[in-house]
């Protein structure tokens, strides 16, 4: 190869080249990388076998001879690593093999070695960053799943969705809207708790509260709060439910049905059983976040809620009692029976109370 051409290639492309004869013996080496990856001499007339200098070519002698003979146009090796003799530097190389004929028509194998260390290090850094991002993504997914698990056990699902969709802002206050409020309170809880171990009493309480929660969730209500042996549910908030009164009453009847089904084998085994009294009332309430700047509770505040609680306190075990607004909103969809009007504390007039009997077909 013409010396001037070789120098020009090395200068412009920072390329080192090797020239090997038909016996694959290197007859010339030239370029800036010789001192760093091959030998301390910048040029020499003979440097041994090409596969010895480039071990990646071992076992591919037939391919090299095909390139020499012109049967193969070229061959490329990318991202080859080399460590400097002092062990302090790592080089990234691209190697290209081409056929070459001298002025005397002698055939040689031209090996071009391009230094891609900068690009290689950048690629390595990018790969490392991608791997770190993948690991971080997995950690974030795991953290989100854990947070989701925690949220769904402490905050109603519909409240979470409303917050994520920014329909419910993370601040104290709320909106006035019509709701149906359900209270379900266990009867004889205090009496039975004196007869069995506290650990078993907690298990029993959780089993009964789970029945009430299943019924409320089944009809689209949210569990706003647990209050000892009672549960407080809200319908028509945060999601709009035009038939919220029917949903609440059906949930109340479902609580009684589920409780009866649960109690049947318990009673047959002569085990202690509990019963719910369910009170429901409908009307306007301030619905939103209450509490303090440190902790919010999603709730429905107002006379509608207070009356629902008092109806529940008056309800007999295994029954579902309703306020007059709830009964009117049912529009006959569920059979109700009028009861003796009740005068609640703070009310000047007795309140008409109804018992829900069954859902009409």
Q: Give the count of beta carbons closer than 10 Å to the beta carbon of residue 117.
A: 18
| Long-range Cβ contacts of 119-122 (<8 Å, 24+ apart) | 119/92, 120/79, 120/92, 121/92
- Fill in the DSSP letter of residue 342: B
CA dihedral angle for residue 251, residue 253, residue 255, residue 257, rounded to 10 degrees:
-140
- CA torsion, points 189, 192, 194, 195, in degrees to nearest 10? -160
* 3-class state of residue 64 by DSSP: helix
At 40, is the pLDDT very low, low, confident or very high (cuts 50, 70, 90)?
very low
Residue 64 tokens, joined: 């090299």
Question: How far apart (Å, rounded) are the C-alpha atoms in residues 241 and 247?
Answer: 9
pLDDT tens across 294-318, in order? 778 888 999 999 999 999 999 999 9
> What span, in angstroms and rounded, lies between the C-alpha atoms of 225 and 348?
29
Q: Is the pTM of this model over 0.85?
A: no
**Spans of all domains in the chain:** 3-115, 171-359
How large is the average pLDDT for residues 237-244? 94
Q: Who has greater pLDDT, 339 or 100?
A: 339
pLDDT band of 6, cuts 50, 70, 90: low
Q: Which fold has domain 3-115?
A: Beta-Lactamase (3.30.450)
**Tokens read off for 358:** 């069954």
Among candidate residues 290, 353, 297, 296, the one with its CA nearest the CA of residue 320: 353
CATH number of 171-359, picked from 3.30.70.1230, 3.70.10.10, 3.10.180.10, 3.40.190.10? 3.30.70.1230
């Amino acid at each position: 190869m013409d010396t001037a051409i070789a120098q020009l290639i090395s200068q412009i492309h920072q390329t080192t080249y090797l020239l090997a004869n038909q016996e694959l013996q290197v007859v010339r080496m030239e370029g800036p990388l010789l001192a760093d990856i091959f030998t301390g001499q910048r040029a020499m007339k003979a440097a041994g076998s090409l596969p010895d200098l480039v071990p990646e070519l071992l076992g591919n002698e037939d391919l090299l001879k095909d390139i020499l003979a012109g049967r193969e146009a070229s061959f490329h090796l990318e991202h080859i690593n080399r460590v400097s003799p002092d062990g302090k530097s790592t080089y990234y190389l691209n190697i290209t093999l081409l056929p070459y004929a001298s002025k005397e028509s002698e055939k040689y194998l031209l090996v071009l070695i391009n230094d891609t260390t900068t690009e290689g290090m950048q690629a390595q850094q990018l790969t490392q960053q991608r791997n770190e991002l993948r690991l971080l993504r997995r950690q974030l997914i795991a953290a989100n799943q854990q947070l989701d698990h925690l949220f769904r056990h402490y905050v109603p699902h519909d409240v979470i969705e409303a917050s994520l969709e920014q329909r419910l802002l993370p601040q104290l206050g709320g909106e006035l809207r019509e709701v149906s409020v359900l209270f379900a309170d266990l009867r004889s809880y205090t009496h039975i708790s004196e007869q069995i171990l506290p650990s078993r009493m907690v298990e029993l309480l959780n089993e009964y509260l789970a029945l009430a929660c299943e019924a409320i969730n089944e009809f689209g209500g949210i569990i706003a709060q647990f209050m000892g042996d009672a549960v407080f549910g809200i319908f028509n908030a945060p999601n709009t439910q035009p038939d919220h009164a029917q949903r609440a009453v059906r949930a109340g009847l479902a609580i009684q049905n589920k409780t009866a089904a649960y109690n049947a084998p318990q009673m047959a085994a002569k085990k202690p059983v509990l019963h719910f009294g369910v009170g429901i009332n409908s009307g306007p309430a301030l619905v939103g976040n209450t509490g303090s700047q440190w902790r919010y509770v999603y709730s429905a505040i107002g006379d509608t809620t207070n009356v629902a609680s008092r109806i529940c306190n008056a309800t007999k075990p295994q029954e579902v009692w309703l306020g007059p607004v709830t009964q009117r909103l049912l529009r006959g969809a569920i059979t109700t029976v009028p009861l003796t009007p009740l005068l609640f504390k703070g009310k000047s007039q007795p309140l008409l109370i109804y018992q829900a009997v069954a859902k009409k077909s």
